[in-house]
């Protein structure tokens, strides 16, 4: 698995008007091809009266890349959208650009510009983020050591995902996989080995 990748945080949308044609870019993070296709089909239903629903998506698993011009001249729509995704270094997302024709032909260059620009506007609305492969580190300690644990976590810039207060304090920390070994060693040294540390599952998180 890659140590990190860039995607978008949430679904987002923006609109561009070029010579009376409306280009509505809608973007969503997805993890599977089935999710991407379902999102596309839902948008086609929503914008059933639009002339074109151009799309492109890239998925991390198996490096899947798909695009469609959806009736626009070949290479003027889907490819520019896909190229924009690649240029921004993004994956695990789908970009759909819906076009309502305004009666004025844009030409090949105009179409490429409009689809690329509107796609980027949609991506920006969906808030690009970097997702890092993290391991959950579970720390159990006495209340007297909580301050040292918190200082070490904050000092290394990691994220506390949960804290439970009982007879002891249990702190769950998300640590980039590449930094887990050092973090565990540093924390053990700082507390003289008086804490319990367990390593949990791995997954991608925004750091």
Q: What is the pLDDT of residues 165-179, one digit of tens each?
A: 999 999 999 999 999
Average pLDDT over residues 43-55: 97
Would you state the pLDDT for residue 129? 97
Is 55:40 a contact under the CB 8 Å cutoff? yes
Q: What angle do the packed helices 78-87 and 107-125 form, to 10 degrees? A: 50
Question: Domains in the chain and their CATH numbers?
Answer: 4-126 (3.30.230.30), 132-206 (3.30.70.120)
Would you state the pLDDT for residue 133? 95
Would you state the pLDDT for residue 106? 93
* pLDDT surpassing 90 at residue 153: yes
Would you state the pLDDT for residue 17? 96
Would you state the pLDDT for residue 87? 97
pLDDT in tens, 65-109: 999 999 999 999 999 999 999 999 999 999 999 999 998 889 999
* pLDDT surpassing 90 at residue 62: no
* pLDDT surpassing 80 at residue 142: yes
Stated pTM of the model: 0.85
Percent of the chain at pLDDT exceeding 90: 95
Confidence of residue 207 (pLDDT cuts 50, 70, 90): confident
CA angle at residue 27 from 130 to 16, to 5 degrees?
Answer: 120
3-state secondary structure of 15: strand
């Amino acid at each position: 698995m890659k140590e990190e990748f860039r995607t978008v945080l949430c679904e987002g949308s923006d609109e561009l008007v070029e010579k009376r044609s409306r280009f509505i870019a809608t973007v969503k993070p997805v993890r599977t091809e089935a999710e991407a296709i379902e999102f596309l089909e839902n948008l086609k239903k929503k914008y059933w009266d639009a002339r074109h629903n151009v799309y492109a998506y890239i998925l991390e698993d198996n490096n899947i890349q798909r695009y469609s011009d959806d009736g626009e001249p070949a290479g003027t729509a889907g490819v520019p959208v896909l190229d924009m995704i690649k240029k921004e270094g993004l994956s695990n997302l789908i970009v759909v650009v819906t076009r309502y024709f305004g009666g004025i032909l844009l030409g090949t260059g105009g179409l490429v510009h409009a689809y690329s620009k509107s796609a980027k506007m949609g991506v920006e609305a969906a808030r690009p983020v970097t997702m890092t492969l993290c391991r959950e580190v579970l720390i159990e300690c006495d209340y007297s050591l909580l301050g040292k644990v918190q200082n070490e976590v904050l000092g290394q810039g990691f994220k506390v995902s949960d804290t439970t207060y009982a007879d002891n304090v249990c702190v769950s920390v998300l640590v980039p996989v590449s930094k887990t070994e050092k973090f565990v060693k540093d924390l053990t040294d700082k507390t003289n080995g008086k804490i319990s540390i367990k390593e949990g599952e791995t997954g991608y998180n925004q750091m």
